Structure 1
Amino acid sequence: MNAVAVPELAVTVTQLEMTSKPLRTPPPPPLARHLLMRAEPATVSFYRYLYDTVGANWLWTDRREWDDERLADRLSDERTDVYVLYVDGVPAGFGELFQEGADTTDLAYFGLLPDFIGRRLGPFLLWSLIDLAWSRPIRRMTVDTCTLDHPKALAHYQRAGFVPYAQRQVRKPDPRLTGRLPRDTAPHIPLAV
């Protein structure tokens, strides 16, 4: 029996780095009551809630493919820090920092829940995560973004001080056609053909 090929999305991935802590004035904090808190460690169910809610609109699927044991191992790894931004007591966004080596921290995931996009929380959260990463004795911070992410993501990272150092083209099965995400997810991204 032959497997049916799933149409793929063409995706451009841009890798960025920062080789010193940026000297800049941070964006103002949100006007609403807010708290940025480290989840110590984040539970699998809470992390999945954050990842799935933030990432669905951008077709994030990597962590959806991990079983609970693999995800629990990552979340309990001392090199992983998950920070959650709360606004008026509600989770508004999150960021995951991963210490790749003695001198490099990767911003593995970063984003806002849909209800909080457009409220100027992104710059505050991103710059807070950058400050947290550079509070360690590192020499480099990295982040990847792609053409499926928010249209302003690349510029947002560059304004924060990241510089592109590599770019690659990848193809990935459209998760809305594999059943990993509902077909009506991310309507702003055309279905692969």
Structure 2
Amino acid sequence: MLNEGCHDVPDGMLAMVVTHLEMRAQVAPRPVPQPEGVELRFHEKPDVDWYRALFRQIGAEEWLWFSRLRLSRDALEKILHHPDVALFSGERDGESLGLLELDFRQEGECELVFFGLAPPLIGGGVGRWLMNSAIEQAWSRPISRFHLHTCTLDHPSALSFYRRSGFVPFRRQVEIAADPRVVGELPESCGPHMPLIR
């Protein structure tokens, strides 16, 4: 339990405030037309290299996404190929530019594990359309809870976007992790919004 006040974060580490959110019943979608030229594609057994490349393109440079980069190839493949993990990409002209990953491995629940867009798809309602797709896909199975978490490394609008989508915050944590730029998983130029302290 952290006491009130400031707490030192060791050099080479990142501190993030993590907010957990949930949806206990399906909400009505916020209407938005399907963006022109953009399609949702399901990937039954995605290639690990393809997945990692998309993961980096969407989250690494700007937002320091690193968790999936720390998994071995076999460990990541085991997750992605599990029958209760559903992976979709938002595609334009055959190029994967959006990521929607749903995890149904906990009975009666669905976790929105990763959700994001590469820069070419940001704007024009694509994020709302993709979230509507996420909600529809999640509640197409017999669940009573749809949940996710976001943190202070993510886009500043992420938390408010999830709340507008019908998710309700219920828990907050502080996470400490090795800075991926210090341990060589990402270039030092990534995550310019987060100072690098060795």
Task: Give the number of equivalent residue pairs.
Answer: 188
The correspondence for 1:90, drawn from 85, 91, 95, is 95
User: What's 1:103 paired with?
Assistant: 108
Secondary structure class of the residue paired with 1:176 = coil
User: What's 2:12 paired with?
Assistant: 7
**Unpaired segments of 5 or more residues in structure 2?**
1-9
Q: Structure 1 residue runs of 4+, over 3 Å off?
A: none
**Cα offset for 1:127?**
1.5
User: What's 1:29 paired with?
Assistant: 34
Q: Percent identity?
A: 38
TM-score by length of 2: 0.89
**Cα offset for 1:172?**
1.8
Q: Which amino acid aligns with 1:143?
A: L
User: What's 2:125 paired with?
Assistant: 120
Q: CA RMSD in A?
A: 1.5
User: What's 1:160 paired with?
Assistant: 165
Secondary structure class of the residue paired with 1:105 = strand
Secondary structure class of the residue paired with 2:130 = helix
Q: Aligned pair in 2 of structure 1 residues 25, 111: CA closer, same or farther (>3 Å)?
A: closer
Contact 2:30-2:132 at 8 Å conserved across structures: no
Contact 2:110-2:143 at 8 Å conserved across structures: yes
**Cα offset for 1:120?**
2.5
After superposition, give the CA deviation of every residue in 1:35-60 in whole Å (9 maximum; x if it has no partner).
10100111111111111111202111
Contact 1:13-1:169 at 8 Å conserved across structures: yes
Supply the distance in 1 between the matched residues of 2:79 and 2:70 (Cα, whole angstroms). 13
TM-score by length of 1: 0.92
**Cα offset for 1:137?**
0.9
**Unpaired segments of 5 or more residues in structure 1?**
none
After superposition, give the CA deviation of every residue in 1:82-138 in whole Å (9 maximum; x if it has no partner).
000112322120111001322100001111112222343111111111110001111
**Cα offset for 1:6?**
4.3
Contact 2:19-2:169 at 8 Å conserved across structures: yes
User: What's 2:3 paired with?
Assistant: none
